[in-house]
Structures are given as C-alpha cells and as structure tokens.
Amino acid sequence: MNVFRLLGDVSHLVAIIILFLKIFRSKSCAGISGKSQVLFALVFTTRYLDLFTSFISIYNTVMKVVFLVLSYATVYLIYLRFRSSYDSESDTFRVEFLLVPVAGLSFLENYDFTPIEILWTFSIYLESVAILPQLFMITKTGEAESITTHYLFFLGLYRALYLANWVWRYHTEGFFDQIAVVSGVVQTIFYCDFFYLYVTKVLKGNSKLTLP
C-alpha cells in the first residue's frame, strides 16, 4: 500500500458517498445517469468475486463490501425509491455499445483464460468507460448540479491517483499491471475536459456547471 493508492481509494469512497447522500437527502436523482450507476455496480460485482476466495487484508475486504453495498444502494435509490425523479429521457446512452466491445476484449486480452480472471478483466475495461453515460447526459442537458460535479471530480481523481500508484509500485517493487494501467489512462483521459470545466467554472463559485 502507498499514499497514492490510499488517497485514491479514499477519493473513490468520497465520490460514492457524495453521490449516495446527494440522492438520499435531496430525495431526487435528477441529472444522474442511472445507466452509469448500473455499470459501476456491474464493475464491482465482476471485480470482487474473489471477496470470499482470496483474503488480501481487512482493509481490502471492508472496502470491497462498502463499494458493493453503496453502489447497489445507489442503483436502488435511482430505479426504485426515487424513480419518479429519474430523467430517463436524458439518460439515453446505448450501453450495449460499451458492454459488447468490453466483453469481447476481455476474452481476447487477459492474463489468464479463467472465468474469474476474464470477469476481472471485464470489470477493468468496463470501469474505464462506465462514466460515459453520465458525461453524455451532462452534455445533453447542458448542465450539472455542483454536487454532481464534485462527485465526478473525486471519481476522476481516484483513477488519476491510481496512475501515480502504478508509477510508484513500478519503481519500488517492479509491479506493472498492463491491463489496469492502459485502462486507467483511458479512463482518466475521459475526465480531462470535465476537469478543465470543473476548475474553470465550478471552483470559481458557480452554483452549477452550465456547458457553453
């Protein structure tokens, strides 16, 4: 464990908690892409199948459970509890255009052709594109509440910190997970234009992000 990975995990946890609390307290999921949240729940489900088979540490197990519970709870809030506020007309990204290529690639490029490893690879590739429905929804509606932008900021920051974690691990322990690194770079690149808007608009005190 290193400081970059720890900060990354904390940033990821903060993002997930921000979103959950925003929906739970405002009793509304307006502006939130339910499709992205379903994809994230799928990412955690396919990645943490080893929850019961391989024990890494208390921290690892606890964080996996927390991520799984919060992601499914968020999907529940969006599609069941506050479904009347779910803006399905704006959440129109064709997720099959993500799932099919990601599934295909996870069969082609993986470390080991076993169910667990292919599902882990699937989750890595899927996570790199899972935010696209949400980013697409924001460009479609042309705006996002500032709380939503804070969620996206910490979510984007988490994988950027993981990139630093991989640089650190490569130089200190020779660790290099090519699939995770390439996907992490792609994932972080998708946030770049959002990061620019976040810094130039939201941090200037605007109540919400309105796209030009």
Partner 1 sequence: YALSMPHDEL
CA dihedral 128, 46, 75, 130 (to 10 degrees): 10
104 in Cβ contact with 164 (< 8 Å): no
Q: How far apart are CA 140 and CA 60, in angstroms?
A: 37
Which range binds partner 1 by CB under 8 A, 17-25, 26-34, 53-61, 191-199? 53-61
What residues does 111 pair with on adjacent strands? none
In the chain, the amino acid numbered 163 is L
CA angle (59 as vertex; 54, 63 as ends), nearest 5: 90
Instruction: Establish if 56 lies at the interface with partner 1 (CB under 8 A).
Output: yes
- The least CB distance from residue 142 to partner 1, in Å, is 34
**Restricting to residues 95-154, which ones interact with partner 1 according to CB under 8 A?**
111-112, 117, 120
Interface with partner 1 (CB under 8 A), residue from 17, 45, 64, 85 = 64
Please state the separation of Cα 85 from the chain's center in Å: 22
Which range binds partner 1 by CB under 8 A, 62-70, 78-86, 134-142, 190-198? 62-70
**Restricting to residues 11-30, which ones interact with partner 1 according to CB under 8 A?**
12
Would you tell me which residues interact with partner 1 (CB under 8 A)? 5, 9, 12, 47, 50, 54, 56, 60, 63-64, 67, 111-112, 117, 120, 162, 165, 177, 180
